[in-house]
Amino acid sequence: MNTHISNGQEASYHYKLVRRAIERLDSNDAPVSLEGLAAEMNLSPAYLQRLFSKWAGVSPKRYQQFLALHHAKTLLRAHHSTLDTAMETGLSGGGRLHDLFLRWEAMSPGSYAKGGKDLQIKFGWFESPFGKALAMGTDIGLCGMAFAEETGAEPAYQDMALRWPNARFTEDNNALAPWVGAAFGGVGAQRLHLIGAPFQIKVWEALLHVPSGHVTTYSDIARAVGSPKAVRAVGTAVGKNPVSWLIPCHRALRKSGELGGYHWGTPIKRAMLAYESATRESAAFALAK
């Protein structure tokens, strides 16, 4: 049933190692040494060091710092994206948004209200840097992406399918593979089909303006969409984002800097933020050479 995107098995294995590191870090206040972590994973320290450095671009020690709970607050102080400014730059669905060439088209409100009636949605399971991923798409582009490591595969599928209860679903990994590959760092353009209520789509569009390695707050999003008092409604719309990772709801934090919830599990949200921070730092180091 699984289709492996480029380096998919290896990327998924690396994520599972990172997930185990998250659990280890959560159970201890003190930092975990490379030697101790390697011993728990039945790996040599040198091999674990290479695996982490290849996956994240930084050492395990530095990566664990990114995974720490206080990292969200550090991000908010140092890499807080001011959305109202970003949206005034004129970026649109057809422009370059964060680190992907991403084109998107929204379903009409009337079609959305019909629960996806007459809509044909393809789905498939893929390996990703964050474990098993479910992708869904129409002929226009990806309309759904979920991560099943925390929830399990069947609950993740039912969660997504029930968002468009009147649609017809067909498994077709091959049709979705190019879009999924591009989503996780491969070549090619990315295409999205946003299926939601008008207010939800405005919130998701705002999220698309948050650069990789940066974060924003729910109140910032509310101001950016012209509804500064609708913070709770914004939070609900963020939580209902159907295309996780590509529409980066993981970059939305509480004003206090706390992570807040994440539909597919807080460990995955932390891993995504850590992955993006490590990638940003690695790229900056390469440019400085």
pLDDT, tens only, 142-171: 999 999 988 999 999 999 999 999 999 999
Sequence-separated (6 or more) residues with CB below 8 Å from residue 32: 21, 24, 25, 64
Instruction: Please say if the pLDDT value at position 71 is more than 80.
Output: no
What pLDDT, in 10s, does the model give residues 271-286?
888 888 877 776 666 6
Catalytic residue ranges: 249
Measuring CA to CA, which residue among 244, 92, 140, 120 is closest to residue 183? 244
Using alpha carbons, list the distances in angstroms from residue 34 to 61, 88, 152, 183: 7, 45, 30, 31
Instruction: Please say if the pLDDT value at position 123 is more than 50.
Output: yes
Beta strands in 13-166 (DSSP E): 96-97, 100-106, 120-128, 131-137, 142-147
Residue at 245: amino acid letter: W
Using alpha carbons, list the distances in angstroms from residue 30 to 22, 53, 269: 13, 22, 22
Confidence of residue 36 (pLDDT cuts 50, 70, 90): confident
Measuring CA to CA, which residue among 282, 266, 34, 225 is closest to residue 130? 266
**C-beta separation of 11 from 55 below 8 A:** yes
Mean pLDDT, the chain, as a whole number?
79
Percent of the chain with pLDDT over 90: 33
Supply the pLDDT for residue 255.
80
Per-residue tokens: 265? 């599990």
Confidence of residue 12 (pLDDT cuts 50, 70, 90): low
Tell whether pTM > 0.95: no
- Residues forming a β-bridge with 202: none
